[in-house]
Amino acid sequence: MKGRFISLEGGEGSGKSTCLAYIQSWLENKSIPYLTTREPGGTSLAEDIRQLVLNDREESVHDLTELLLVFASRAQHINEKIKPALDSGLCVVSDRFIDSSFVYQGVARGGDMDKIQTLSDWVVKECLPDRTILLDVPVEIGLQRVQSRQQSDRLDKESVEFHEKVRQGFLERAYKDKGRFSIVDASQSIKAVLKDIDIALNAAFHLDKY
């Protein structure tokens, strides 16, 4: 049987990594075989592309270059890692996936949504997550949480306005596709957030009565 595909989405400091660690222990507890991964990246080549996308550089990065690099890494990630894992029955949990492209390269950068949809149809095809957990947090709280970090990448350093567009972009996508998305209020305490993650996971694995 094919494994379930779950993605975690949200802005900077929304708690994706924190939730990923919790999901990992949840799956172990239920003895569900799984694999965790992230985007951009997930394979050796895709991680190399991640560096190209996120590293600071003197040269400015054209929006189209960023878009195509992200999709090039995704093609590698899907075909060499995600699909084989799902086909072998593993549950795959990805820290970011296709929705981040629609939101970062589309909404926030003002990219052509039709072109991104075309790329998605081409690269992702039917390999969409069964469930996407959106961690929604006000921009200033998210940025505050990651402020103490030593390293910030090219996208972390974007303006508050950019991150605001990211937040709204995610929310809009989630409202339009409630069948796939679970929206979690990530401004709550970690304990309360993880309780909501639990509810979302139970729904994703049909372990509840909803």
Ligand X SMILES: Nc1ncnc2c1ncn2[C@@H]1O[C@H](COP(=O)(O)OP(=O)(O)OP(=O)(O)O)[C@@H](O)[C@H]1O
Applying CB under 5 A, does 17 fall inside the site for Mg ion? yes
Which pair of tokens denotes residue 189? 């305490």
Q: Which is nearer to ligand X, 26 or 86 (CB)?
A: 26
Applying CB under 6 A, does 13 fall inside the site for ligand X? yes
- Contacts of ligand X in 92-151 (CB under 6 A): 145-146
Q: Which is nearer to Mg ion, 95 or 119 (CB)?
A: 95
Nearest residue to Mg ion by CB is 17
Among 14, 94, 100, 101, binds ligand X (CB under 6 A): 14
Distance CA 171, CA 168 (A): 5
The DSSP secondary structure of 135-155, one letter per residue, reads EE--HHHHHHHHHT-S---TT
Q: What region, left, alpha or beta, does residue 41 occupy, with left being phi > 0 and alpha being psi -120 to 50 degrees?
A: left
**Minimum distance from CB of 23 to ligand X (Å)?**
12
Tell how strand 91-95 and strand 131-136 pair up.
unpaired
Taking CB under 6 A as the binding criterion, the range among 6-14, 78-86, 122-130, 168-176 that sits at the site for ligand X is 6-14
Distance CA 9, CA 36 (A): 14
Note whether 138 and 185 are within 8 A (CB). Answer: no
Q: Which is nearer to ligand X, 16 or 131 (CB)?
A: 16
**Minimum distance from CB of 135 to ligand X (Å)?**
7
- Contacts of ligand X in 172-191 (CB under 6 A): 186, 188-190
Q: Which one of Mg ion, ligand X, none is in contact with 10 (Cβ closer than 5 to 8 A by kind)?
A: ligand X
Q: Which one of Mg ion, ligand X, none is in contact with 37 (Cβ closer than 5 to 8 A by kind)?
A: none
Chain contacts with Mg ion (rule: CB under 5 A):
16-17
Chain contacts with ligand X (rule: CB under 6 A):
10, 12-18, 145-146, 186, 188-190, 193
